[in-house]
Structure 1
Amino acid sequence: MATITSLGVGSGLDLTGLLDQLQEAERGKLAPITLQKKQQQAKISAFGQLQTSLNAFQDSVAKINDPKLYQSLSASVRGDAVKATTTASALPGSYRVEVTQLATSGTLASSRVDKRDAALNLQGATALQLNFGSGDSVDIDIAPGSSLSAIRDAINANKGVGVNATIINDGQGYRLALSSKETGADASIDGFSFIDADKQPVTGPFAEDTDTKRAGENAALTVNGITISSAKNQIEGAIQGVTLNLSELSIADGETATSTINVERDTLKQREAINGFVKAYNDLKSTIGKLTSFSGDSETAGELVGDSTVRTIESRLRSVLTSGVEGGELSTLNQLGITLQRDGTLKVDDTKLNDLVANNPQALSDFFAGEKKGSGLAGKLGTSIEQLLGNNGVVKLAISGAENRVKSLDDRFERMEKSIEGTIIRYRRQFSQLDGMIAQMNSMSDYLTQQFDALDNQLGRRRR
């Protein structure tokens, strides 16, 4: 019997179409697995949104859990004399600052030599002695026959000397130019000389040019009439907790630059942090509402509707928010003007909160940050959120559970596909056998018909 290579050729039946229908019906068994996998992947995405919203709430809680927030002060400046910044130790007050002199660095130059790289007759000198406004001096060792360039390099190689050295060409020769690294009278370069091994003065090949000398000066200013002298233009300690910066100031001789500095509580930062906390919580509630929404239509239901993880998160956070704190002037959010609405969101009474921020920041600090770390409302919330988001928290466990179910469904899908493939192969083999059998029977039928016709002809019978 000839081999049938295409189903239905031998029998004349549409066996290929029938096999396709059977294959489609078999693959329909994969649809529930695909749907379940899609649902689990949607859950993983939803848990990711929930985690992101929880992280944002956690950040807002951390801000109000910082005691420094309620102690923060800001400095506002009127006038161009200074810029001012504050630290936690600053105290409220108003200060009039008058600046008559900036701190400057000292400079001087040597007399002229003809060549910068030629050996100099040092007259036995073994060191260059640098003298400063403070009365201190530093000896810089130099080699016999050093050039002007070599002396410059020897000075610059000594990083702790407090002087920068360079060479200037004045058009007629070369000069060694020195400048103090620091501002102020004490740090000012006051002069130099050559000395021998016994520390005795030696007449060198060049000397200090007094006409080029510019002594460094201290900054001169008054704060509320009190005279202050500073070697630096960044002044700390003149006003408690306030740093004054004169660096960008320009004062002509005989002039005075005046500014008024007002140090006051930075109520804006506190209001922003507390309102940010309320907004982050309401955003979290909004995210939960979207993920758990249900209107009766399963096609439009939220991915986490009925999920126990969401209920756990809401329950724990609500418990902390409503329990409040003990031992302080304020014990509940209501006393701050923050109330829990029927829909679970928080609402702020700005008038009440602003009054507390302006007049009783310590009570706010005790309520949110607590006297001890973690004892305030924010500390308790932070602990709860950390537990919820931790490696063993409900969010991570829910995500890992959904991921494991996706993996299990993938394995099940693969096994089902192999099973379906085996079934279709079996159907194809059976259909092929059926096709062959019918073809054989048709062939036998044709043969018998021919034989009967031949017999009838021999017998003279006509078949009807």
Structure 2
Amino acid sequence: MASVASLGVGSNLDLSGLLTSLTTAESQPLVMLQKQQISYTAKLSAYGTLQNALSSFQSAASKLADATLFQGVKVASSATDVLTASASATGVAGSYSIEVTQLAQSQSLAAVGVMDPKAVIGKGTVTLDFGSISGGTLDPVSGTYSGAGFSPDASRAAQSIVIDDSNNSLEGLRDAINGNAAMGVTASIVNDGGTSPYRLVLSSKQTGEASSMRIAVTGDASLQTLLNHDPSAAQALQQTAAARNAALKVNGIAVTSKSNTVAEAVQGVTMTLARTGASTLTVNRDAGSVESAVSSFVTAYNSLQTTAGQLSRYDTEKHTGAALVGDSTLRTIQTRIRAALNTPQVGELKVLSKVGVSFQKDGTLALDAAKLKTAFADNRSAVAELFAGGGGSTGVGKQVSALVDTFTSASGMLNAATTGVKTTLKSLDNQYAATETRVQATVARYRTQFTELDMLVSRMTSTASYLTQQFTNMSSNK
């Protein structure tokens, strides 16, 4: 059977063009279905865009729903090389003069030197505990005390290690100490360049006066001679750094700390000391974070409005509409959010305009930062209640966040609308497939009929030509 391209050759008729026209006409339902598919696909994409805008708005609202935002405290140090600081919600606004006179320090002890760090030093049990050294005199040359007392730190239990054939060298002793984290000491070997250069150095992991070391050894005399150390009695080790507390003055009041992290010397403030010197701490309520959060909320709402406008815009010149023009789901979401923002709250500041957030003629929100700053300075708790709730009110932040959740959750109206569009698209796909099959069958039937017609006309033409020729011959023979 002839192909479509050869249709009409035998009959000299434009059957191919006619078949093309018929195919186009039969395919019109497919074109209409495609237009519907494009429209619903655009609507599905638009719902996704709306979902993202709502999520951003909800995120901004959730920040305002957090009461800790309004309790924030900001602290600044005038000399960060002396100390830095952070503050908690309990910080009290004010200016504090800080003078650091001494940094906290950990104790360091050094043993006498040996010639070979791998040589045997004896076996036994080494027991170490911590405490405070009181009274007495420290010889700056030998690094030992005379006439001093030692008070153990009851909060820290003594720790022991066993020195045996597996670790009875200076290196073995070092590794045994470092292998027992509970001892609270770091051991190292220092080469001082002398005739017996290898010296064991012990450093407390904690700073403060109560972290001075006392070491008792049982076992070989050589091990005892190397390590026995009691600040109130015999001392085999040389103190190269004393255990010290940090010392500072806060507004002239003396303060001590066992570490260089000093908490609550100023209420709600933790200071980290870096060196001796003076600094002024300024503690203020963190209005900046609140202003930033409210500004982000306003921006997110306006962005949502812009997105909604773009998705529902109608072009009067081109007479075309965006994907969600006239969409009831979008219209309901906009109406309910605006209503929530206009709903008076229970607290002292009942409406957003009291803190500088107000609607404009075009439906967007605007923020008067100066008004917000004044409201926060005058009545921080009322601003917190307006946004985060309290005193019988859930607050704007929590209300808006909960409202948006009813739109975007799995059971929300936006998900329901999206599910409806997906169902419609699936139905359109099925309709398209069925219609396409029907159109293809119809066109195939036309093609068969046209081919048969072409062949019939061709045969008839051929017969007519033959008869004409015969009649002509007959006339010539008369």
Please report the TM-score for the alignment, with normalisation by the length of structure 2.
Answer: 0.86
Give the alignment of 1:263-342 within 5 angstroms: 263-297=283-317, 299-326=319-346, 328-342=347-361
**Aligned in 2, Cα 1:374/1:127: closer, same or farther, shift over 3 Å?**
farther
Checking the alignment, whether the CA contact within 8 Å between 1:44 and 1:403 is kept in structure 2 is yes
Contact 1:374 1:380 in 2 (8 A): no
Identity among equivalent pairs (%): 38
Match of 1:226 among 253, 258, 270: 253
Where structure 2 has 5 or more consecutive residues not aligned to the other structure, the ranges are: 133-151, 228-234
Q: Counterpart in 2 of 1:46?
A: 46
State whether residues 59 and 401 of structure 2, in contact with CA within 8 Å, keep that contact through their aligned partners in structure 1.
no
1:384 to 1:203, Cα distance in 2 relative to 1, 3 A: closer
Q: What's 1:174 paired with?
A: 198
Give 2:139's aligned residue: none
Partner Cα separation in structure 1 for residue 250 and residue 389 of structure 2: 37
Q: Which amino acid aligns with 2:204?
A: S
Following superposition, the deviation at residue 211 of structure 1 comes to 4.3
Q: Any residues of structure 2 matched to 1:8-407 within 5 Å, and which?
A: 8-79=8-79, 80-120=81-121, 122=122, 125-134=123-132, 135=152, 137-144=158-165, 146-171=168-193, 172=195, 173-188=197-212, 190-196=213-219, 204=224, 206-207=226-227, 210-211=237-238, 213-246=240-273, 249-251=274-276, 257-297=277-317, 299-326=319-346, 328-371=347-390, 375-407=394-426
* 8 Å CA contact 2:105, 2:207 repeated in 1: yes
In structure 2, the CA distance between the partners of 1:51 and 1:409, relative to structure 1 (3 Å rule), is same
2:14 partner amino acid: D
Task: Output aligned runs, 1:427-438, within 5 Å.
Answer: 427-438=446-457
Query: 1:131 Cα shift?
Result: 4.3
CA distance in 2, matches of 1:433, 1:203: 117
Q: Which residue of 2 aligns with 1:254?
A: none
Of 274-283 and 302-311, the range deviating more from structure 2: 274-283
Q: Please tell me the root mean square deviation across aligned C-alpha atoms, in Å.
A: 2.4
Note if contact 2:159-2:182 (Cα within 8 Å) is conserved in structure 1. Answer: no
1:350 to 1:211, Cα distance in 2 relative to 1, 3 A: closer
TM-score, normalised relative to structure 1: 0.88
Contact 1:113 1:206 in 2 (8 A): no
User: Secondary structure of the residue that 1:399 maps to in structure 2?
Assistant: helix
**Residue deviations 1:236-291 (CA, integer Å, cap 9, x gap):** 12111100011xx234xxxxx01111111111112222222222222222222222
**Runs of 5+ consecutive residues of structure 1 not aligned to the other structure:** 252-256
- Counterpart position of 2:135: none
Distance 1:30 1:131 in 2: 89
Greater displacement, 399-408 / 130-139? 130-139
What is the rounded CA distance, in whole Å, between the counterparts of 1:349 and 1:107 in structure 2? 59
User: How far apart are residue 35 of structure 1 and its match?
Assistant: 1.4
Distance 1:293 1:19 in 2: 42
CA, structure 1 residues 334+131, in 2 after alignment: closer, same or farther (shift >3 Å)?
A: closer
The alignment partner of 1:419 has SS state of helix
Distance 1:420 1:203, change over 3 A: closer
**In the alignment, which residue of structure 1 is the partner of 2:137?**
none
Cα offset for 1:298? 5.5
Deviations 1:49-69 (A, max 9, x none): 221221111111111112122
The answer to whether the 8 Å contact 1:336/1:352 transfers is yes
- With 384-393 and 334-343 compared, the bigger mean Cα shift is at 334-343
Q: Which letter maps to 1:414?
A: A
Question: For residue 96 of structure 1, what is the amino acid of its counterpart?
Answer: S
- Distance apart, 1:386 and its partner CA: 0.8
Deviates more, 1:81-90 or 1:40-49: 40-49
In 1, distance between residues paired with 2:469 and 2:223?
A: 143
Structure 2 CA distance, aligned partners of 1:325 and 1:139?
A: 65
Query: How many residues are matched?
Result: 442
Please give the alpha-carbon distance, in whole angstroms, between the structure 2 residues aligned to 1:193 and 1:351. 68
How far residue 87 of structure 1 moved from its aligned partner, in angstroms, is 0.5
